[in-house]
Structure 1
Amino acid sequence: MVVKTKKHRVSTGALVLCVACVSATAQSDDGLSESTYLSEMPVVLTVSRLPQRVDEAPAAVTVIDRQMIKDSGAWDLSEVFRLVPGMFVAYHASRTYMTESVVSYHGLMSETMSSRMQVLIDGRSVYSPLFGGVIWNDIPIVLDDIERIEVVRGPDSASYGANSFMGVINIITRHSADEQGKMVSFAAGRGRDETMARYGSRNGDLTWRITASVRNDKGEDSDIHNPPANASFVWTRNKFDDKRIQQLSLRTDYQINSTDTLEFQFGYNGGPRQAGETYDIVAPNKRAENYFTELHWRRELDQGGELSVKYYDAIESSTATLVQTDPAQPPLAANMNNGDVTARRHDLEVQHTFSSGKNTRIVWGGNVRHDTVFAPHDLGGGGIANAGTPDNYEVSAYDLSSIFGNVEWRAMPDLLFNLGAMAETNSYTGTAISPRVAANWHFLPGHTLRLGYSEATRSPTVAEKRWEQYQRITKNHPLLPDLLAEQVKAFDLGYLGKFRNLDVDFRLFQEHYTELIADHRDDAANHGNLNSGRARVTGFETQLKWDISKQTRLIYALAHAEVDSPDVDRIPYTDSVPTNNQSLMLTHSLNSHWRVSLIGYQTGKTHFDRTDYDLAQGREYFIPVVHRWDGRVAYSFRTGKGKGELALNIQNINDSRYYEFRHDNQVPGRTAWLSLRLESD
């Protein structure tokens, strides 16, 4: 049974589940006291930069805690975000600079690098300056060091500036004091294995931990399973995506005195990689080397205030000799096969939080950033430009400075206002101001309405800026105007309800996107407007957390979105958002030793700009609806003074050989692995 919308259909099974859950628990709300409600409401740190209860934050937010990450059975960090309503995840869809998964909120992607969302680790941006987006497997972090993940579902440039365009992911790692003692873990299964070790200790007011891991991952199967009978060779092969990931991270936390703390972090991620696809430019022997160092000083002030200064230095680098594998194309010339990339970022941020009265809290601050990118192929000889481009085009710099602020004002005990904005200046598009205003009304204990409006921008990536120069100089468009920052205006109406055993988050949204940068298409330059894209996205999202019993929990997410766009310059935004996607996680503790989980995902029919099709070879225009089930069975035990866990993880239980993003991007079939974890003090 389905409910029909203007152009699409929505599964009513999900809606019936929502109504049934609310109906089954609503009558128990009478026993929920205000003190119980306040004590159980989670606190988030990301949305406005102020610690706030989730029902007082000025935007919708999903919290993925440590237990959810474990229960999901995720192998890659990117897979965790399949649990977020409205998030599109595609396994190893990116195929040029690196072979990497796509993580995008609300789609609107014209390429695999989802460059319209900001990703932070402990507030440090890992947004790649070259193509935008995130290289998930190159981040120096392991899943086991994550405390929780906060996902802001909607524009958040008021807090984190340009590129926080559709949303923000903030990955918060564990304090070193929470990971003391020794831990080792081993995992092995079909096409993948990992060894990890961690040690944490304390010396007076200094705590520290060090984590090291080695992971081997063969990625997609080399051959596509059961291709169309008349398919050409290119449609029968997956991408080159084998990788070996070596990671090392260090975190120290020092309590200098009663008010001052100093945190230091260092991370390394490196190893051999493969990148590229059949009949394309590939990097068969690529190697990644990524580092970061971070120093963060905090001082506690009176009445809950804080002053903090944070500096980090990050290097994203890789070396590769590129090879042309398409027999119809000539081999790459010597000046075009250098696939090396080095991107370096220096960032300094100051933030001050204080209370100006009994009912008002304020956070404000600013930051300066300097990025440099060296990429001979992508910025010079063989990528966006061509052999005639000057050599100095291989190096590009990007500078940014900003000032931000957010005021939280409790006008009445049950009515809260948040007013925030960021003024940001960058070397590509000049100055932009991104405001946000939101009101949260607790109309009953445990029930909140949120109304919000925000504006956000996205500045061009280094590659997009170089493409503009290429069009102006090499393609003979001397009067082509400069690239502008992309713009969005977003309206948000949310409801958060807390019943005795059920948390409900429901959101209606409408987002108006303008000045969207064309996807390296000559059409846009020929028409004299590189910012030709426009789209309006409307829809709703809901997420439920239902504690069915003390042993059993159900977490469910549903998103429905529709896009209206003129689709100019061959950029079909109209169908680039899955109309419906759903996720479900059911967990149950059989006893103190055994815990099981079942996870299901559904992604609606989707077409992206790079989704090739060929009707003669049985390739449809759309990637069809995707269904997948994962599972995990874990056994916990004690061993001497320590503890351990043995777990069986299974992904794609039904062995579905489906495609994601493109018809030559087939995910692995059923994949299982065993993991053993041992800990001691």
Structure 2
Amino acid sequence: MSISHHKKVIYLSASTPARLSIFLLLAASCQVVHAENKSDESIFLDDIPVVLSASRLTQPISEAPVAVTVLDRQMIRDSGAWDLSEIFRLVPGMYVGYHADPNFYSADSTVAYHGMVTSTTSDRMQVLVDGRSVYSGLFGGVNWSDLPVVLDDIERIEVVRGPDSASYGANSYLGVINIITRHPAESQGASASFTYGTGRTEGVFRYGGKTGDLTYQITASERKDTGENDKIHNPTSRNIFWTLNKFDNKNIQIFNFRGDYQASAHDTLEFQFGYNGGSRQAGEYDNFASITRTSNNHFEMVNWRRALEGGGELTIKAFHTEERINARLLDSDGIQNGDASFKRDDLEIQHTFSPSESTRVVWGGSVRQDVTYAPYYLGVEDNTYLFGDFKYRLGRLFSNLEWHVRPDMLLNAGAMWENNSYTGTEFTPRIALNWHVTPEHTIRIGYSRATRSPSVYEKVYEEYWRAPDQYPNLPELKPERVKSIDLGYIGKIGKVDIDFRLFHDNYNDLIDVKNHKSSQSGNLNAGNALMRGYELQIKAPITEKTHLTYGLSGGSVKSDDVNGVIYSGSLPSYNHHLMLTHQLNEEWRSSLIAYQIAKTKLNQTDYNPGQGRGYYIDGNKRFDGKISRRFLFSGRQTEIAFIVQNIANSHYFEYRHDNEVPGRLARINLKMDF
């Protein structure tokens, strides 16, 4: 997908508390009803950001069929984020747990939308990089540290806040994250960046060039991260298990190449290659510890685009992804072979055209094959149930119609037909109506259905439980399902941009295969949950040089909590962030970011009231800050930045009671263009 011919994105997300949310919505309604429309519509529309990810059509955010948060390049820089996963703390409704994975496969962060976390793999959300799915087939979800993406190569990130299987198929169950990297034309010349700080170092080199009709960019980086503190500052128990943090040191090398070749006036060919490798620690005390674990991941992608008459486009995209882990694991039985690999081949064709002046259509299809090899991780019950390669095949057709029913009313209707080798055929539709009450105020109402297919790990467990010596009459595993109703408002009150959303999501057939109670009850899809809540984003210029971004979300989850899987209470009653940025002059810029979240029920395995561990993780708050200066050094553009995360040196838990975030972390970054 290309954005070169679209309006510049200038959107920043934000939000406010429940009472303030209602007040702002009422204020907007009053203004809509009583105010004269004195604004120039064309000028206002120039300020509306264009999004690519909601329906596969390029649309102003006020015409998208679902809520979208855009994290632009400047916002990412102002956040002071170190890991890619940290950026999503700035998305309303998103829960991020620092290095929360406690197992032997990955020491990585959890990124989950609307709670609903029963594992650290965040397997209910689709993640794309330039439209390429990086959703892992083994456990589902994403290993964020294993992605071949450097933060400074990201142009922006679009987060679809709500089910989007109609556009991206199964596993776009709660939402979609699309990471869009910079075009090589935006990064010409050479630059180098060096970071040094508390337990963290990084070096990045980038070069962009142009040869005839070929524009290209090369990025290479290496970072070292010692992760959490070795010992927990405030343990819930003096038992040694609860006084030690996880093994999570990381050494990450990344290499990326992107080339864009303008073959003709109408044809563009894009090549991408990426590599991520290095040694990683994983595991926890008295469970699993990686003695030697290295990652070697790479991908290759080709994307051909042809511009058609009338603004249409035809694209053919093909990519190959390969992830490899080489590990020797230490467990109670001694040293085990923890090698694993995952391969994906995908081919997609997409056609966009306008049948009439009032309609646009995108349609297409794709085929995919995943091959997973992980004998130890799929061993189930002490390696007594081993498999070789696991293959997963997927075919799908999709379409979305955008119809301007009348100048102030837009209808989006889309659907995905999908067939996979695990659960068969699914059809997931979506319909949404956007009413521009005035050019500055839009109301959206939508309904959609979405699914999540079982991961390889879950499929293996199903086969295990259905074995002749277990529960042979156990029903076959089905995909998880959700029906979602969305009511949204997007508008501007004065100079304040507002995005408010109410949601009502009904989840059925939630999968739980590891709990023995699931097989005993005769249903591995026994989970159900009803989630209702709100989200708010606000962008407000306080002065010409000072801007505020605020985000708030909250709600409730009701569930029958069958088989010991407790979904009730998994959505925090509130979760919000505040970012203040100030441009002092052309040289100096600063930002201050605050995060706060209510107590959160995440992982019932920690439950032990006698040792101070209930089902809930206590609420917490944190402050980050950044100050930077740009200047010329020997005629070269240079920037030096000082970043502090967790300024107050708070010691709190995320996800589990043995996952205490680091205290205050400071680092300095120097970047120079050559």
Contact 2:602 2:615 in 1 (8 A): no
- 2:94 paired residue among 87, 92, 106: 87
Are 1:530 and 2:524 counterparts? yes
Question: What pairs up with 1:221-240 in 2 under 5 angstroms?
Answer: 221-228=229-236, 231-240=238-247
Are 1:305 and 2:351 counterparts? no
CA–CA separation in structure 2 for the residues paired with 1:360 and 1:340: 51
CA–CA separation in structure 1 for the residues paired with 2:25 and 2:401: 36
Q: CA deviation at 1:464?
A: 0.2
Report the 3-state secondary structure (helix = DSSP H, G, I; strand = E; otherwise coil) of the residue aligned with 2:337.
Answer: coil
Q: CA deviation at 1:618?
A: 2.7
- The equivalent residue for 1:518 is 512
- 1:431 paired residue among 391, 415, 425: 425
Q: CA deviation at 1:95?
A: 1.9
Q: CA deviation at 1:17?
A: 8.1
- 2:161 paired residue among 149, 153, 156: 153
Q: CA deviation at 1:538?
A: 0.3
Contact 1:347 1:368 in 2 (8 A): yes
Question: What pairs up with 1:372-411 in 2 under 5 angstroms?
Answer: 372-380=371-379, 384-389=380-385, 391=386, 393-411=387-405
Contact 1:611 1:663 in 2 (8 A): no
Report the 3-state secondary structure (helix = DSSP H, G, I; strand = E; otherwise coil) of the residue aligned with 1:317.
Answer: strand
Corresponding letter in the other structure for 2:615: Y
CA–CA separation in structure 2 for the residues paired with 1:28 and 1:606: 42
CA–CA separation in structure 2 for the residues paired with 1:226 and 1:166: 34
CA–CA separation in structure 2 for the residues paired with 1:15 and 1:604: 17
Report the 3-state secondary structure (helix = DSSP H, G, I; strand = E; otherwise coil) of the residue aligned with 1:322.
Answer: strand
Are 1:477 and 2:471 counterparts? yes
Alignment root-mean-square deviation, CA? 1.9
- 1:130 paired residue among 138, 147, 172: 138
Corresponding letter in the other structure for 1:106: H
CA–CA separation in structure 2 for the residues paired with 1:644 and 1:23: 45
- 2:596 paired residue among 579, 596, 602: 602
Q: Structure 1 residues 21 and 398, CA, compared in 2 at 3 Å: closer, same or farther?
A: closer
Moved more, 22-31 or 62-71: 22-31
Report the 3-state secondary structure (helix = DSSP H, G, I; strand = E; otherwise coil) of the residue aligned with 2:142.
Answer: coil
Q: Structure 1 residues 12 and 74, CA, compared in 2 at 3 Å: closer, same or farther?
A: closer
Q: TM-score, normalised by structure 1?
A: 0.94
- The equivalent residue for 2:4 is none
Q: CA deviation at 1:561?
A: 1.6
Write out per-residue CA displacement over residues 304-336 of structure 1, whole angstroms, 9 at most, x where no aligned residue. Answer: 100000000001111111101xxxxx424x6xx
CA–CA separation in structure 1 for the residues paired with 2:469 and 2:544: 65
Contact 1:248 1:268 in 2 (8 A): yes
Question: What pairs up with 1:63-78 in 2 under 5 angstroms?
Answer: 63-78=70-85
Report the 3-state secondary structure (helix = DSSP H, G, I; strand = E; otherwise coil) of the residue aligned with 1:466.
Answer: helix
Contact 1:28 1:500 in 2 (8 A): no
Contact 2:37 2:438 in 1 (8 A): no
Are 1:573 and 2:597 counterparts? no
CA–CA separation in structure 2 for the residues paired with 1:252 and 1:87: 33
CA–CA separation in structure 2 for the residues paired with 1:469 and 1:507: 41
Q: Structure 1 residues 23 and 359, CA, compared in 2 at 3 Å: closer, same or farther?
A: closer
Write out per-residue CA displacement over residues 143-197 of structure 1, whole angstroms, 9 at most, x where no aligned residue. Answer: 0000000000000000000000000000000111111001100001001010000
Are 1:493 and 2:487 counterparts? yes
Q: CA deviation at 1:475?
A: 5.7
- The equivalent residue for 1:349 is 348
Corresponding letter in the other structure for 1:123: G
CA–CA separation in structure 1 for the residues paired with 2:16 and 2:95: 21
- The equivalent residue for 1:5 is none
Write out per-residue CA displacement over residues 271-301 of structure 1, whole angstroms, 9 at most, x where no aligned residue. Answer: 0000001111221321000000000000000
Report the 3-state secondary structure (helix = DSSP H, G, I; strand = E; otherwise coil) of the residue aligned with 2:350.
Answer: strand
Q: Structure 1 residues 611 and 82, CA, compared in 2 at 3 Å: closer, same or farther?
A: farther
How many residues in Structure 1 have an aligned counterpart in Structure 2?
656
Report the 3-state secondary structure (helix = DSSP H, G, I; strand = E; otherwise coil) of the residue aligned with 1:655.
Answer: coil
- The equivalent residue for 1:184 is 192
- The equivalent residue for 1:173 is 181
Contact 1:508 1:541 in 2 (8 A): yes
Contact 2:513 2:519 in 1 (8 A): no
CA–CA separation in structure 2 for the residues paired with 1:276 and 1:262: 43
- The equivalent residue for 2:47 is 40
Q: CA deviation at 1:433?
A: 0.4
Structure 1, unpaired ranges of 5+: 1-10, 325-329
Write out per-residue CA displacement over residues 5-56 of structure 1, whole angstroms, 9 at most, x where no aligned residue. Answer: xxxxxx9966448858997997999653211111100000000000000000
- 2:449 paired residue among 430, 455, 458: 455
Q: Structure 1 residues 465 and 88, CA, compared in 2 at 3 Å: closer, same or farther?
A: same
Question: What pairs up with 1:406-425 in 2 under 5 angstroms?
Answer: 406-425=400-419
Report the 3-state secondary structure (helix = DSSP H, G, I; strand = E; otherwise coil) of the residue aligned with 2:108.
Answer: coil
Corresponding letter in the other structure for 1:353: T
CA–CA separation in structure 1 for the residues paired with 2:426 and 2:212: 47
Q: Structure 1 residues 12 and 489, CA, compared in 2 at 3 Å: closer, same or farther?
A: closer
CA–CA separation in structure 2 for the residues paired with 1:187 and 1:412: 53
CA–CA separation in structure 2 for the residues paired with 1:646 and 1:458: 44
Q: Structure 1 residues 579 and 284, CA, compared in 2 at 3 Å: closer, same or farther?
A: farther
Contact 2:462 2:513 in 1 (8 A): no
Contact 2:320 2:346 in 1 (8 A): yes
Q: CA deviation at 1:226?
A: 3.0
- 2:259 paired residue among 220, 241, 252: 252
Structure 2, unpaired ranges of 5+: 1-14
Contact 2:215 2:260 in 1 (8 A): yes
Contact 2:16 2:538 in 1 (8 A): no
Moved more, 136-145 or 92-101: 92-101
CA–CA separation in structure 1 for the residues paired with 2:55 and 2:17: 35
Report the 3-state secondary structure (helix = DSSP H, G, I; strand = E; otherwise coil) of the residue aligned with 1:573.
Answer: coil
Contact 1:407 1:420 in 2 (8 A): yes
CA–CA separation in structure 2 for the residues paired with 1:528 and 1:117: 27
Report the 3-state secondary structure (helix = DSSP H, G, I; strand = E; otherwise coil) of the residue aligned with 1:130.
Answer: coil
CA–CA separation in structure 1 for the residues paired with 2:518 and 2:255: 44
CA–CA separation in structure 2 for the residues paired with 1:621 and 1:652: 25
Report the 3-state secondary structure (helix = DSSP H, G, I; strand = E; otherwise coil) of the residue aligned with 1:377.
Answer: coil
- 2:543 paired residue among 542, 549, 554: 549
CA–CA separation in structure 2 for the residues paired with 1:572 and 1:648: 42
Moved more, 210-219 or 517-526: 517-526
Write out per-residue CA displacement over residues 332-357 of structure 1, whole angstroms, 9 at most, x where no aligned residue. Answer: 4x6xx111110000000000000000
- The equivalent residue for 1:207 is 215
- The equivalent residue for 1:368 is 367
- The equivalent residue for 1:3 is none
Contact 1:613 1:663 in 2 (8 A): no
Report the 3-state secondary structure (helix = DSSP H, G, I; strand = E; otherwise coil) of the residue aligned with 1:468.
Answer: helix
Corresponding letter in the other structure for 1:107: G
Question: Percent of aligned pairs with the same residue?
Answer: 52
CA–CA separation in structure 2 for the residues paired with 1:146 and 1:571: 37
Moved more, 239-248 or 394-403: 394-403
Contact 2:16 2:551 in 1 (8 A): no
Q: CA deviation at 1:668?
A: 0.1
Corresponding letter in the other structure for 2:534: F
Report the 3-state secondary structure (helix = DSSP H, G, I; strand = E; otherwise coil) of the residue aligned with 1:38.
Answer: helix
Report the 3-state secondary structure (helix = DSSP H, G, I; strand = E; otherwise coil) of the residue aligned with 2:459.
Answer: helix
- The equivalent residue for 2:3 is none
Contact 1:379 1:385 in 2 (8 A): no
Contact 1:315 1:344 in 2 (8 A): yes
Contact 2:16 2:536 in 1 (8 A): no
CA–CA separation in structure 2 for the residues paired with 1:646 and 1:218: 23
Report the 3-state secondary structure (helix = DSSP H, G, I; strand = E; otherwise coil) of the residue aligned with 2:42.
Answer: helix
Q: CA deviation at 1:617?
A: 2.4
Report the 3-state secondary structure (helix = DSSP H, G, I; strand = E; otherwise coil) of the residue aligned with 1:518.
Answer: coil
CA–CA separation in structure 1 for the residues paired with 2:339 and 2:570: 31
Corresponding letter in the other structure for 2:102: R
Write out per-residue CA displacement over residues 176-222 of structure 1, whole angstroms, 9 at most, x where no aligned residue. Answer: 11110011000010010100000000011110000000000000000
Contact 2:376 2:383 in 1 (8 A): no
Contact 2:21 2:536 in 1 (8 A): no
Contact 2:223 2:252 in 1 (8 A): yes
- The equivalent residue for 1:468 is 462
